[in-house]
Amino acid sequence: MNDDDFRERYGAIYEHSPWVAERARPQIDDRDDIDAVAAAMADSVNASSHDERLALIRQHPELAARVAAPLTSASKDEQASAGLDRCTPDEFDAFRRLNEAYRDKFGFPFVIAVRGRSRDEVLAEFRRRMDNDTSVEFDTAIAEIHKIARLRLAALKVLT
């Protein structure tokens, strides 16, 4: 696979962060093995600096935000799969308050792999994680980002 095809295929796996795929490129061959690609990309994130990982976390959108930066198509589909686009007014308000409190406390958005979860599960996890300290939450956000990437890679495999 040439570099342009590689960027087209893998550049958006990590939210607005094509550098992840670019750094993993030397470890990825054309066999398209999901596990190998996921591991190489996760390794490139894990080997990056704290500031780069923080920037990666900050690339993720707030959940169920009515007014926010435009979502990538993958994020829009993922949030819709959990029903976050169909919240009741009370649920939207709960997400708004939690998004604000979380960002104020941690300095980055709450990140969770929402695919396969319900709104209630996401809200419960949001509330539970508010009690974490910043270092635990930073590590949890990175782990969740890796889960999201793995799900996106699996979806690519289904499409090919």
CA-CA distance, 55 to 41, in Å (whole number)? 16
Q: Give the helix/strand (H/E) hosting 104.
A: helix 89-106
| pLDDT surpassing 90 at residue 65 | no
Nearest to 64 by CA among 20, 99, 104, 34: 99
For residue 158, pLDDT over 70 is answered with: no
CA-CA distance, 154 to 41, in Å (whole number)?
14
Looking at residue 115, what is its pLDDT?
Answer: 94
pLDDT at 112: 97
Residue 105 to residues 125, 137, 140, Cα–Cα distance (Å)? 16, 10, 15
Tens-digit pLDDT profile for residues 6-54: 999 999 999 999 999 999 999 998 766 899 999 999 999 999 999 999 9
Contact present, 142 and 149 (Cβ < 8 Å) = no
pTM: 0.92
Q: Mean pLDDT across the stretch 141-155?
A: 96
- In 3D space, the residue among 72, 79, 14, 76 whose CA is nearest the CA of residue 45 turns out to be 14
State the fold for domain 3-159. UraD-like (1.10.3330)
Q: How confident is the model at residue 156 (pLDDT cuts 50, 70, 90)?
A: confident
126: CB partners within 8 A, 6+ apart? 63, 95, 98, 102, 110, 112
pLDDT tens across 76-118, in order? Answer: 889 989 989 899 999 999 999 999 999 999 999 999 999 999 9
Is 60 exceeded by the pLDDT of residue 136? yes
Joined tokens for residue 33: 């093995």
Task: Quote the CA–CA distance of 122 and 98 in Å, as a whole number.
Answer: 11
- Among 16, 50, 60, 146, the active-site one is 60
- 16 among known catalytic residues: no
